[in-house]
Amino acid sequence: MPEGKIVKALSGFYYVKSGEDVFQCRGRGLLRKNKVNPLVGDYVVFEESNPGEGYITEVEKRKNELVRPPIANIDQAIIVTSATEPDFSTLLLDRFLVLIESKFIDPIIFISKMDTVQSDKRDAIEQFKSDYERIGYQVQTLSTKEPENFSQIVSHFKNKISVIAGQSGVGKSSMLNAINPLLKLATNEISASLGRGKHTTRHVELIEVNEGLVADTPGFSSLEFNELELADLPDCFPEMKERRAECKFRGCMHNKEPKCAVKSAVDAHEIPAYRYKHYLQFFEEIQNRKPRY
């Protein structure tokens, strides 16, 4: 039977791309019986019932999935954060990064609106950029006055399934429109939706951008750590994960334990103090989370 990838889900139909053709499919009853809910990004096996139509019979194992937006097998998340308006926030950026790391998705950080930064604040933004690059993240600054920067970021999309993350007003729409003007209507609708403080789901769709696929969705509509277990939090901070074996106690949570390599690295300014502060905030948030039944 033919195989393909779900590139759009809408009103109970799944649009499966196989080769150059797209088939409108429904899920077989067996999938519902086994509580398998196909997602955009899934690799599936289907059988063709009529020309251009069919039924999904099997969903292949996923490497990751998101709940909001509902999408699977993401290669990377592009986090867009602005230098100003809204002001650059390491706390919000770290929240995005932890959520993305917890799903085993590679993050890339874009700092937008660099042309609007006053000279006295530019050094601080450059220092933050350096901090995150030292951790191992890819970071790129963007300016609307330097459109050549936008052309450089196009290479990040090739052969990847990407989601775009970032709060409203940081320039996600401008970035996508600079890459592919055909996305303008969709991204404007997304911005308007986010600007009202709520997300009205239309559908999730993967759109071709420079030989890759980008989810036409606002990205994370929830920034809660509802699915993250406390024991997994340290591994969502790469600079802590790499030092974990150096701690005196196995399973060290880098909080109140003595002879902790992470706390020593913070004291030695090898780990930015604000990153550790955010870690403790997230630690407390997850620890005090109401139990799920």
pLDDT in tens, the chain (293 residues): 899 999 999 988 999 999 999 999 999 887 878 888 999 999 999 999 999 999 999 999 999 998 877 899 999 998 988 888 888 899 999 999 999 999 999 999 999 888 888 888 889 999 999 999 999 999 988 876 666 666 667 788 889 999 888 777 666 666 776 666 666 544 444 444 333 334 444 578 888 888 889 886 655 656 788 889 999 999 999 999 999 999 999 999 999 999 999 999 999 999 999 999 999 999 999 999 877 65
For residues 158 and 154, what is the distance between their CA atoms, to the nearest angstrom? 8
Please check whether residues 91 and 188 belong to one and the same domain. Answer: yes
Phi first, then psi: give them for residue 270, nearest 5 degrees.
Answer: -85, -25
Residue numbers of the domain that contains 272:
230-287
The DSSP output letter for 76 is: E
Query: Does 223 fall in a domain?
Result: no
Q: Nearest to residue 262, comparing CAs of 236, 241, 278?
A: 241
Please check whether residues 198 and 236 belong to one and the same domain. Answer: no
- H/E stretch holding 125 reads helix 119-135
Query: Does 292 fall in a domain?
Result: no
How many CB atoms sit inside 10 A of residue 70's CB? 17
What CATH number is given to the structural domain containing 178?
3.40.50.300
Please check whether residues 82 and 39 belong to one and the same domain. Answer: no
Query: Does 195 fall in a domain?
Result: yes
Please check whether residues 205 and 260 belong to one and the same domain. Answer: no
